[in-house]
Structure 1
Amino acid sequence: MPLRVTFVAAARSSPLLAERFEDDRPLDQAGWDEVLRGAGELRPLAAADLRYCSPTPRSRATGDALGYAPLVQLALRDCDMGRWRGLTLGEAMAREPASVDAWLADPRSTPHGGESLLAFISRVGGWLDTRPAADGRIVAVAEPSVIRAALVYVLKAPPATYWNIDVRPLSATTVTGRAGRWNLRVDGAPAQAARP
């Protein structure tokens, strides 16, 4: 059986439109409420052989609240956004519209002075590829951006695909395989038998 890695998106710390680059704020009340509502489905993942999280306060708090007692992994940190750290996309656009356009168009660009999208995807993929090769289960609570980067890497998709992946708070995404050979696993509710 291949290695199974389930990424759980951290609960939120702000409304979607107020999300900030490299947001290190703790969970807000809505985030805590989300964790309480989703705990029943996500708590069984605590039985994983290894449990990790991004270094953000909301990832750590989400993992702890779900009973994972996760180990912080620096490789699962958000993309280094340089001087845009702490800004919303709208704020960065208002200050540096041409730079934001260049960053969105070219996955190798670093107009903010931080990490390129391509480097971010490679870093997260490198973390995935260095997980223990033995069969087992891993759970990792991470920022939605980290999960998007992991999915681009797993699917070997063009970096621009990153912008087309929507990861909701407390969603679970599973990949299976081993270094360099990953598959996205989509689990859904079983179809109910048709009634006569």
Structure 2
Amino acid sequence: MSLRVTFVAAARSSSLLAERFQDDRPLDQAGWDEVQSVAHGLLPLAAAELRYCSPTPRSRATGDALGYAPLVQLALRDCDMGRWQGLTLGEAMAREPDAVDAWLADPRATPHGGESLLGFIGRVGGWLDTRPVDDGDRIVAVAEPSVIRAALVYVLKAPPSTYWNIDVRPLSATTVTGRAGRWHLRFDAGSGQRSRA
């Protein structure tokens, strides 16, 4: 049986604040407004047999606001950034420029004391590969953009450096189909149309 897994990127916490590693800020009013403005296009995904989310407050709130009532999945948490948690890339670079350079250049590096990029991609891919096929063929997962980027690198069997070249916008939907070890990226018709697998 082939699964259809649609990842929905969590709404942003605020467009005015810099992107931070392991950002655990809840949705602010701007985030709620964004969810409401695109909800009509994402509401049909609530019909999925299985509905999951990352453990971050904004992923849970996005899923709830869309009517998914998602189950939290720890495997869909953001990359563990160790002592860089809560920092922006610029702040980490100002404090530890050589360590940031090493981390960006080597997907196995953990200069922050947390998780490597390779480990992060493998963890998210492992979650994808262990989705139950007997519980239904349609799954929706609300996750941080970084988690979706990791999933796409895994699905495409791309080099880990590809992670840095994928842009996942808040509240975008990305679908993969297949089963463990055999995943495909799927592009559907326009945003108002959803084809069924």
Mark yes or no: TM-score above 0.5: yes
Whole-angstrom distance in 2 between the partners of 1:187 and 1:161: 23
2:77 is aligned with what amino acid?
R
Amino acid at match of 2:95: R
1:51 counterpart residue number: 51
1:84 matched to 2:84? The reply is yes
Matched, 1:11 2:44: no
Mapped to 2, the partners of 1:72 and 1:110 lie a distance apart of 26
Residue 188 (1) aligns with residue 189 (2)? yes
* 1:139 partner SS: strand
Distance 2:17 2:118 in 1: 24
SS in 1 for 2:6: strand
Range 164-173 or range 180-189, more displaced: 180-189
**d(CA) in 1 for partners of 2:120 and 2:190?**
33
Give the SS at the match of 1:18: coil
Q: Deviations over 1:69-101 (max 9, x none)?
A: 000000000000000000011100111111001
1:87 and 1:80 map into 2 onto residues whose CA distance is 12
SS in 1 for 2:168: coil
Residue 187 of structure 1 and its aligned partner are, at CA, apart by: 1.6
The match for 1:122 is 122
Structure 2 gap ranges (5+):
192-197
Query: How much has 1:188 moved relative to structure 2?
Result: 3.2
Aligned-CA RMSD value? 1.3
Map residues 64-143 of structure 1 onto 2, 5 A cutoff.
64-134=64-134, 136-143=137-144
The one-letter code sitting in structure 2 at the alignment partner of 1:11 is A
Identity %: 86
Q: Distance in 2 between matches of 1:7 and 1:181?
A: 17
User: Residues of 2 paired with 1:12 and 1:90: CA distance?
Assistant: 19
Runs of 4+ in 1 over 2 A off after TM superposition: 14-17
- Rounded to whole Å, the distance in 1 between the matches of 2:72 and 2:32 is 20
Give ranges in structure 1 of 5+ residues lacking alignment. Answer: 191-196
Deviation at 1:189, TM superposition (A): 1.9
For these two proteins, the number of residue pairs brought into alignment is 190
Distance 1:128-1:64 versus aligned 2 partners, 3 A rule: same
Partner deviation per Cα, 1:167-187 (whole Å, 9 max, x = no partner): 000000000000000000012
CA distance in 1, matches of 2:119, 2:16: 25
Letter in 2 for 1:76: L
Structure 1 position 17, deviation (Å) = 6.3
Post-superposition shift, 1:9?
A: 0.1
Whole-angstrom CA distance in 2 between matches of 1:98 and 1:92: 10
2:123, 2:133 → 1: CA distance?
Answer: 18
The aligned counterpart of 1:34 is 34
How far, CA to CA, are the matches of 2:190 and 2:131 in structure 1?
29
